[in-house]
Structure 1
Amino acid sequence: MTDTPTTVYVVDDDAGMLESTQWLLESVGLHVKPYRDGRQFLDALSANSSGCVILDVRMPGLGGLNVQEELQKRSSNLPIIFVSGHADVPIVVRAFKSGAFDFIEKPFNEQLLLDSVQQALQEHPQTGLPHRGGDNIEALIASLTRRERDVFLPMAQGYTSREIADMLGVSIKTIDLYRSRVMKRLGAERMPDVTGIAIAAGLLHPLDLRGSAV
């Protein structure tokens, strides 16, 4: 039986976290399938499964990044939202380079997680960035004009329009225009997508994100 488009697979070995996440998602009408083990999740997944995955990074046995690798081998189009209480830089970089939809640190803000899930479901099966890596990333960045690229990197770091305008010596209105053009050219509907592209392309280090260390 094919899962509904609003199926959210939650994979977390922490029973309390798994239960609370399931309750949160079901409270807004989403269909949830919880799993305590990465292998159990993969064994239960069918070729035509749809929705998105909330995947814990650190789990006994098959960890989140290993599950991501297996999904790639199966050519799965499920958007992956990683959650982790240990979001060190190499893990975040690897996750984004392999196409992660989002990466959220535990303990997470409930609305932040819900917003990310809703966005992932809206964009499925075309996530907007189905293969964040390799030639596709290069082609996206190559499509930017020189001025758009000047705006792209500060955007990805988290600078505001006013701050970018001050950097480049132009008006805020001009920066807002360029921001919208950058988003359109990259096929990005939200800022984490822009940041993910920059990280995957090796143009931005996660520790360079403004206002927070990953």
Structure 2
Amino acid sequence: MQQSKVYVVDDDQGMLDSTVWLLESVGLQAVPFTSGQAFLDACDGHLPACVLLDVRMPGMGGLGVQETLRGRGIELPVIFLSGHADVPIVVRAFKAGACDFIEKPYNDQLLLDAVQAALERSQQQLAGSAPRALVQARIDSLTPRERDVFVPLVQGFSNREIAEQLEVSVKTVDLYRSRVMKRMQADTLPGLVGMAIACGVVQALSLR
């Protein structure tokens, strides 16, 4: 498994250097950046990692960086560091998905504990995304007609209702249903529904 990375983004060179030194002293791989944009240009959301992000920086601040990450679909655990942690900023950071918010000057052990928790969260997220990617690949492999049957099937419609919607025979729907189950490698209908929910084809609350 590739070593986890800790991205450190802080425009204060002294603080950046001391944070990198602390992380490396316990065997972590720290990657420093002095601006949010430089970090965004280099970060890889497909590796186990977290980011220590200064709130106030020239140009793009920490909250802007966090918003850009979310816009790109990168679920990188974010730990904010700030010497001026007023309540509205803290609330906004957590609402946007931050996993911690630490005031400067920080306690070394507190920071290391937060980083370890964030890296574990990142590894769990990546481990969970692999099965979803496989299921999504199966969904993408469905033919247009198979997908026409797949979607109402996982929404809870019966074969007869699907046949009426598509203006085909029930026997034809039975055939395509069998193909869908086989292509999706689903043993049961509930299993197929679970796959569809996991990949966002349907929402659990919208099922019949």
Superposition TM-score tier, normalisation by shorter sequence: 0.5 to 0.7
Letter of the 1:13 partner, please give it: D
Matches within 5 A, 1:42-191: 42-126=40-124
**Partner Cα separation in structure 2 for residue 21 and residue 70 of structure 1:** 24
**Partner Cα separation in structure 1 for residue 121 and residue 53 of structure 2:** 18
Are 2:45 and 2:76, in contact at CA under 8 Å, matched by a contact in 1?
no
Letter of the 2:111 partner, please give it: L
Q: CA deviation at 1:5?
A: 4.3
Q: Which has the larger radius of gyration?
A: 2
Identify the residue that residue 29 of structure 1 maps to in structure 2: 27
1:122-160 deviation per Cα after TM superposition (whole angstroms, max 9, x unaligned): 121436xx9xxxxxxxxxxxxxxxxxxxxxxxxxxxxxx
Instruction: Say which structure is richer in helix.
Output: 2
**Partner Cα separation in structure 1 for residue 29 and residue 43 of structure 2:** 15
Q: CA deviation at 1:47?
A: 4.4
- Distance 1:4-1:56 versus aligned 2 partners, 3 A rule: farther
Unaligned runs of 5+ in 1: 131-214
1:48-101 deviation per Cα after TM superposition (whole angstroms, max 9, x unaligned): 243100000000000000000000011112100000000001100000000001
Alignment TM-score, normalising by the size of structure 1: 0.56
Alignment TM-score, normalising by the size of structure 2: 0.58
Letter of the 2:5 partner, please give it: T
Are 1:77 and 1:125, in contact at CA under 8 Å, matched by a contact in 2?
no
Are 2:45 and 2:75, in contact at CA under 8 Å, matched by a contact in 1?
no
- Report which stretch shifted further, 52-61 or 37-46: 37-46
Identify the residue that residue 15 of structure 1 maps to in structure 2: 13
Q: CA deviation at 1:44?
A: 1.0
- Distance 1:119-1:49 versus aligned 2 partners, 3 A rule: same
Identity among equivalent positions (%) equals 63
**Partner Cα separation in structure 2 for residue 76 and residue 5 of structure 1:** 18
Are 1:4 and 1:51, in contact at CA under 8 Å, matched by a contact in 2?
no
**Partner Cα separation in structure 2 for residue 25 and residue 121 of structure 1:** 13
**Partner Cα separation in structure 1 for residue 6 and residue 49 of structure 2:** 6
Q: CA deviation at 1:116?
A: 0.4
Are 1:51 and 1:121, in contact at CA under 8 Å, matched by a contact in 2?
yes
Letter of the 1:111 partner, please give it: Q
| SS of 1:77 mapped into structure 2 | coil
Unaligned runs of 5+ in 2: 129-208
Count of aligned residue pairs for this structure pair: 126
Please provide the CA RMSD for this pair. 1.7
Letter of the 1:28 partner, please give it: V
| SS of 1:52 mapped into structure 2 | strand
Letter of the 1:62 partner, please give it: M
